[in-house]
Structures are given as structure tokens and as C-alpha cells.
Amino acid sequence: MTTHYLDNAATTKSCNAAVKAMLRCLSEHYGNPSSLHREGLEAQKELDYAKAIIASALNCDTREIIFTSCATESTNMALKSTAAAYGKRRKKIVTSAVEHASVKKTLAFLSENDGFEIVEIKPDETGKYKAINFLNACDDNTVMISMMMVNNETGHVLPVKEVFNMVKRKFPHIITHCDAVQAFMKYSVNAGSLCADFISISGHKVHAAKGIGVLYVKKGSKIRPLILGGKQEMGLRAGTESVPLIAGFGAAVEVLSADIDKRFEYVKSLNILLREKLEQLESVRILSPIDASPYIISIIIPKIRSEIMLHYLEAKGIYVSSGSACSKGAGSGVPEIFGATSEEADSIIRISFSCENTMDDINALVDAIASGQRDIMHR
């Protein structure tokens, strides 16, 4: 049976370049990068090369890159470090109401355990975020603002660059953190022009392997390690580095960096085609706006629970999701914030593309949704 993988916001297939780099580091350059002999030096060269590639993609210095196990760890490190460094004097953190669980739960922890006031900004009635609302929520007591660039469930693009630049001009003391997981290698994520002090990114969202992430830390920012031990990663992330995963991440970024705009336009054409075909289906509603990231499109199939449709599509070799993979099927509340009713939120399907998807994937998906509407509703 032909399969059609359309769940790339959850994870992507590792590209050939990443697999090749990982295998090389497992079988040839397998030394510990902290070792002083030749094998250790070869491993350190692999690590340094990958760091240089990723730093170039973020337009930053290699000394501003810290390798972590995932973007969730990166985010925890950024938020908890900022709270620890500045939290005695300032107790307000501003964020959006649609953040990933790694941000939401970390901020909830800081609120419950350290007394931080968490201010969540919601979009307007059209689902749009206005930068001025974030600025107006900030004051002299604000320690940090944390915003995602692209929402992982609907693809809504948040005005991070505009917000961070406005905030830094009026309140230069406020620390800025961006979850760029669904934006990195799809949009320009330039650390300098973004005015970000911290940026979280993940390897397995960009055709590298699971288990590797990066935290960008602007030079001069106060940062504290979550994991204590050796002097790896400038003493900020102890533990022997996973050179194979790091090398794979670097290789994937190197390949993708060559044609970001070309891939974006190709995926956009797939997104437009899918929208045109979905509009021909009875009662299907597209939740993601036309100006959302073309890589993610969430739809509502009324009166059919997401789980039921997911399994129906899976039986036909089509793989999608009902929302964030991290929620494991539990409702996040994000669809409702962007205008879905609670009943509609239980009928959402998230389709997410990579440049490996084709028109055949779209045709198979739309045909299967149409037959699913008939078959499931008439059981």
C-alpha cells in the first residue's frame, strides 16, 4: 500500500545527508570530543562544523549556540535561567495564549513556585495578533516576553520581529525568547534582526534526527545550566555531546539552507491546491488562515471526531494528526483561541507538509476525507 506522510509538523524523515553524517560519526569519527587524542579531535571537528552551519543559518556567532537534547530543553533553559537571574526584581512574564506546552508548562511552574505573574495575550476576533497588544502588556516590572514565531497547530504566524523590536526600544531590560521550531529553515530566523536574546530550535523538525536541539543565547545574556557536570558546551550543558545527532543536524541545515525560498514556494503551491480541493468538500472548514505558514493547515470536519477520522485515514496509508504531537490527543485550547468552537476543536485534522510531499499526497488525502465523511457518517 502506498503511504502518504502528511504529519511533518510532528516530525520529519531524516534526509540522506543527515543519515550519512550520523553514520560517519557512529562508525568513523566516534571519539569523545573532549578527548585529547586524534579520534577526539575528529569528533570535535564534526561538532564544530555543525555548530558553524547552524550559527550561519541563525546569523550569529558559534559561541552563541548551545546544543541540547531538544527544543523543550532549550526553552526550559531560557525561561528558567531568566527567572533565576532577574526574578528577584521583576515578576511579570508576557507571552501569547497559543504557545507550545514547553512554554506554557514552564511558565505555569514559575508562577506556582516562584510567584511570577504570567500575562497571556490573545488574538483579536479575526485570529490576528497585534504587536501593540504585547507592548501594552509590558512595563518596568516585566522580566521577559516569550513568543512562538509559527503556531504548531494552525500555522498562524505571530509578529515576533515587530513585537521584540518595539519592546526592546521601550523596555531594553526585557529579555526576549522565541520558539522558532516551526519557523526555522522555512522562514528567515535572523537572531540579530529578530532582537531575540534566546531562540529555541529542533533537529527533527528539519529532517535531522530526534534527540537534538539548539538554544541560541545572545552574547552577554545571563544563562544558567539545567544540567551540571563537565565543561561541555562552554560549561552550560554538561554531558558528552551526541556527535552523531549534532553532525546530522548540521548536515540537514546545510542542505536546506541552499533553497529555503524555493521550497517555501513549492510547499505554498501544495497548500493552495489542497485548499482548493477542500473547498469542494461538503461542510469542511479550513481553520488556518490564508497567510498562515504554508507548511501547516488545520481543518475541521464537522460531526466526526478527530480520532475516528485519523484511524480511517491511517487505514488508507495516510498519516496526519489532530494537533500537537506533544499533547498526545489531549486538547490544547489553541483551536478555540483561534476561533473554533469546543465541538469543532474535537473534529480537527492537522495536515503538515515537507518538500517531499506531492500532488499525489493531496489527491489521496482529499479522496480519503470525502469517502470518510460518507462511510463514517453512515455507519
**Domains defined for the chain, CATH in brackets:** 4-13+259-377 (3.90.1150.10), 63-235 (3.40.640.10)
**What pLDDT score was predicted for residue 330?**
57
**What pLDDT score was predicted for residue 232?**
82
Choose, from 25, 60, 138, 326, the residue flagged as catalytic: 326
Torsion angle of C-alpha atoms 9, 15, 21, 25, degrees rounded to 10: 60
Query: Cα–Cα distance between 275 and 261 in angstroms, integer?
Result: 21
**What pLDDT score was predicted for residue 236?**
80
Query: Cα–Cα distance between 167 and 172 in angstroms, integer?
Result: 7
Number of Cβ within a 10 Å radius of residue 235: 11
**What pLDDT score was predicted for residue 231?**
83
Q: Calculate the average pLDDT of the chain.
A: 94
Ramachandran quadrant class, 217 (left: phi over 0; alpha: psi -120 to 50; beta: rest)? beta
Query: Cα–Cα distance between 104 and 116 in angstroms, integer?
Result: 13
pLDDT grade, residue 228 (50/70/90)?
Answer: confident
Q: Is the pLDDT of residue 99 over 60?
A: yes
Q: Is the pLDDT of residue 340 over 70?
A: yes
Helix (H, G, I), strand (E, B) or coil at 353: coil
326 is catalytic: yes
Burial of 266 (0-12, 13-18, 19+ CB in 10 A): middle
Lowest mean pLDDT among 158-162, 192-196, 238-242, 323-327: 323-327
**What pLDDT score was predicted for residue 325?**
52
- Provide CB contacts within 8 A for 318, sequence distance 6+: 3, 4, 6, 364, 365, 368
Number of Cβ within a 10 Å radius of residue 125: 7
